[in-house]
């Protein structure tokens, strides 16, 4: 990867807004504030280009699980008509191309400072400004600070003794070399079988001399049935695109699927099996949404889906011993991030693939020549960490964010994130978080949630300017009640029954708190709209201080 950092003078402006991040969220926020509202805006982005997730995650098989025609913006109606997606699920290069096209089309790069990490942001109560500093020596003061830093942008490489001694190459899927990695003839080890692992393992196996997969948690995954997208289908969507997108905005998960109205427990075994089979053949998230309405809510209903997938794994994987290792038994389906795949289980039928169960024989150390577990040593040329992210709070904690009276965000969130609507947190006026913890975020088709936040924050800024409001800060009671609500509804779902990254369980020492809002995209949007329509209920809005005469 070319890591040349272009020289430039430090930025020392006093402006309206700083946006951190130039992925889906930062790009649209920039367009909204700068172009639609005429604010003076500075964007900072660590990467060399736009794209966020799709700039960083270039591993083989990297692909979106949302269908292409709804994994895009809806604010640019002409672009919705013009853009032609090639596949059912867009691959990383295509999404990156799309986001670069959006940046070109709206001339969004000219106020983005690339290769620049925001290191700190401090609130100055005296003049109600944020002071933002970067690793390039920039110091920018602004009224509004908006984080568009992503929920999954802080890669997690587990601290395994000996990594420094490894003589081969190693990579994290979330920081993949731009020039790609040639695995031809190599002995490759992949650690992790979450979404990135499930996507990359079949592709790496096709190229590697030998692939060893180190699995801690066996996964439920449903075939994606990826393929080229039917042009007639897309043309039809385009005749009613706004309706389709509006359906997503009001839905549970920001997806276009019709939810089943039937319980899995009210049909015969034969009928249930037929419904699951049809959804399995069609592929994708419909297995979760369009089959039965209680899979994620009722343990007995869930058992029927979990058992169906387990049977599929046993049917697909030829070696019964390997199949049993791949069958998830310690958590129910949907308690972790749902996965979809392309030939994942079939990959374990290949002669050049070995599965190592590190739940029962944990990794002890990385040696100069490979990985040693408690029951054996595996010689490797390359190690791939498909070990995920320090989700949601990780990107915040990599910055020193200080609010009123020097309150550090890291201290305030020591026992878990505390927000009002996932967009604001008490003690940090004029700080707005796009898809922050406590909002639907990672439980949704994210462009839908991102657009909703960008537009809601845009409305806030417009209101403040129109009404002469200088600061807006969440009210303590509103925040406390929102956090209680987020926890209460999560407790009623399957999500609490697994050690997932939603709960911070993949990061040693991270508090076990369910971070996203599980109440649904539509219900959440309605709540945000009600808050806005009631004059920003639950927020304290303060006018600009009037200068004292003679002072």
Answer yes or no whether residue 384 interacts with ligand FAD by CB under 6 A. no
Beta strands per DSSP E along 446-522: 469-474
Question: Rule CB under 6 A: is residue 23 a binding residue for ligand FAD?
Answer: yes
CA distance 201 to 215: 11
Per CB under 6 A, 419 contacts ligand FAD: no
Closest CB to ligand FAD among residues 42, 304: 42
Distance (Å, whole) CA 162 – CA 522: 48
CB of 256 to ligand FAD, least distance (A): 13
Residue 500 touches ligand FAD, criterion: CB under 6 A: no
Closest CB to ligand FAD among residues 53, 471:
53
399 forms part of the interface with ligand FAD (CB under 6 A): yes
Q: How far is the CB of 76 from ligand FAD (least distance, A)?
A: 16
Convert 519-528 to b/e letters by CB count within 10 Å (16 or more is b): bbbbebbeeb
Q: How far apart are CA 237 and CA 249, in angstroms?
A: 16
From 11, 15, 16, 24, residue interacting with ligand FAD (rule: CB under 6 A): 24
In the complex with ligand FAD, the residue whose CB is nearer, 279 or 448, is 448
In this chain, which of 17, 18, 21, 245 binds ligand FAD, going by CB under 6 A?
21
Which of 226, 291, 223 has the alpha carbon at shortest distance from 257? 291
**Rule CB under 6 A: is residue 433 a binding residue for ligand FAD?**
no
Q: What is the DSSP letter of 347?
A: G
The reply to whether 428 sits near ligand FAD by the rule CB under 6 A is no
Residue 373's DSSP bridge partners are 363, 376
Cβ proximity to ligand FAD: between 218 and 434 the closer is: 434
> Considering only residues 30, 31, 42, 46, which one is a binding residue for ligand FAD as defined by CB under 6 A?
46
Per-residue interface string for the shown chain with ligand FAD, residues 107-146, x marking contact by CB under 6 A = ----------xx----------------------------
Identify the residue among 26, 437, 519, 522 touching ligand FAD (CB under 6 A): 26
Q: Calculate helix-pair angle for 241-250, 521-533, nearest 10 degrees.
A: 90
Binding to ligand FAD (CB under 6 A) within 62-91 occurs at: 62, 64-66
Q: Which residue has the tokens 């997208």?
A: 229
Count interface residues toward ligand FAD (CB under 6 A): 36
152 scored as a contact of ligand FAD (CB under 6 A): yes
In 338-444 the beta strands, taken as DSSP E runs, fall at 339-341, 353-357, 363-367, 370-373, 376-379, 382-385, 400-402, 431-433
Tell me which DSSP letter residue 145 carries: E
Judged by beta carbon, residue 204 or residue 275, the one nearer ligand FAD is 204
Angle, vertex CA 434, rays to CA 430 and CA 440, nearest 5 = 130
Q: How far apart are CA 288 and CA 251, in angstroms?
A: 14
In angstroms, give the least distance from the CB of 5 to ligand FAD. Answer: 14
User: Residues 6 or more apart from 192 whose CB is under 8 A from it?
Assistant: 214, 216, 385, 386, 387, 388
Tokens of 514: 């369910």
Q: Is 16 in the site for ligand FAD (CB under 6 A)?
A: no
Which residue ranges make up the site for ligand FAD (CB under 6 A)?
A: 20-26, 44-47, 52-53, 55, 57, 62, 64-66, 117-118, 148-150, 152-153, 195-196, 395, 398-399, 434-435, 445-446, 450
């Amino acid at each position: 990867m070319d890591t040349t950092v272009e020289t430039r003078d430090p930025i020392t402006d006093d402006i309206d807004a700083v946006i951190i991040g130039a992925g889906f969220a930062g790009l649209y926020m920039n367009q909204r504030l700068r172009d639609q509202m005429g604010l003076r805006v500075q964007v900072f982005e660590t990467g060399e280009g736009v794209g966020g997730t799709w700039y960083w995650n270039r591993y083989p098989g990297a692909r979106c699980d949302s269908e292409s025609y709804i994994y895009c913006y809806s604010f640019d109606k002409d672009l919705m008509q013009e853009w032609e997606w090639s596949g059912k699920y867009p691959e990383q290069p295509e999404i990156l191309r799309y986001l670069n096209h959006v940046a070109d089309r709206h001339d969004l790069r000219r106020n983005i400072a690339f290769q620049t990490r925001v290191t700190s942001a401090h609130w100055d109560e005296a003049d109600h400004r944020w002071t933002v500093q970067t690793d390039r020596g920039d110091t920018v003061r602004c009224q509004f600070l908006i984080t568009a830093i992503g929920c999954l942008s802080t890669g997690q490489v587990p601290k395994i003794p000996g990594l420094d001694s490894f003589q081969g190459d190693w990579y994290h899927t979330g920081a993949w070399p731009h020039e790609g990695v040639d695995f031809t003839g190599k002995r490759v080890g992949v650690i992790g079988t979450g979404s990135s692992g499930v996507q990359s393992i079949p592709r790496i196996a096709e190229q590697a001399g030998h692939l060893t997969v180190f699995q801690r948690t066996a996964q439920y995954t449903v075939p994606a049935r990826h393929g080229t997208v039917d042009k007639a289908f897309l043309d039809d969507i385009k005749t009613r695109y706004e309706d389709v997108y509006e359906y997503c905005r009001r839905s549970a998960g920001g997806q276009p699927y019709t939810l089943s109205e039937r319980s899995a427990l009210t049909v015969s075994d034969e009928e249930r099996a037929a419904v699951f089979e049809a959804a399995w053949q069609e592929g994708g998230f419909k297995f979760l949404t369009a089959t039965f309405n209680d899979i994620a809510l009722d343990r007995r209903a869930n058992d029927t889906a979990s058992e169906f997938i387990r049977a599929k794994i046993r049917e697909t994987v030829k070696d019964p011993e390997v199949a049993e290792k791949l069958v998830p038994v310690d958590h129910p389906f949907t308690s972790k991030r749902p996965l979809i795949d392309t030939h994942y289980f079939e990959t374990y039928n290949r002669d050049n693939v070995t599965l190592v169960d590190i739940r029962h024989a944990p990794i002890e150390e990385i040696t100069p020549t490979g990985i040693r577990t408690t029951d054996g040593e595996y010689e490797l040329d390359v190690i791939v960490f498909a070990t995920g992210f320090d989700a949601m709070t990780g990107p915040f904690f990599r910055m020193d964010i200080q609010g009123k009276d020097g309150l550090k965000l890291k201290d305030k969130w020591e026992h878990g994130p505390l927000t009002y609507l996932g967009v604001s947190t008490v003690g940090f006026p004029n700080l707005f978080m796009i898809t922050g913890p406590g909002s639907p975020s990672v439980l949704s088709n994210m462009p839908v949630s991102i657009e909703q936040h960008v537009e809601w924050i845009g409305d806030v800024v417009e209101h403040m300017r129109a009404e002469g409001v200088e600061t807006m800060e969440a009210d303590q009671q509103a925040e406390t009640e929102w956090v209680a609500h987020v926890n209460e509804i999560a407790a009623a779902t399957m999500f609490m029954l697994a050690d997932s990254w939603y709960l911070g369980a993949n990061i040693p020492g991270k508090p076990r708190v369910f971070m996203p809002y599980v109440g649904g995209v539509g219900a959440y949007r309605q709540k945000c709209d009600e808050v806005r329509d009631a004059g920003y209920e639950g927020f304290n809005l303060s006018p600009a201080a009037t200068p004292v005469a003679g002072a």
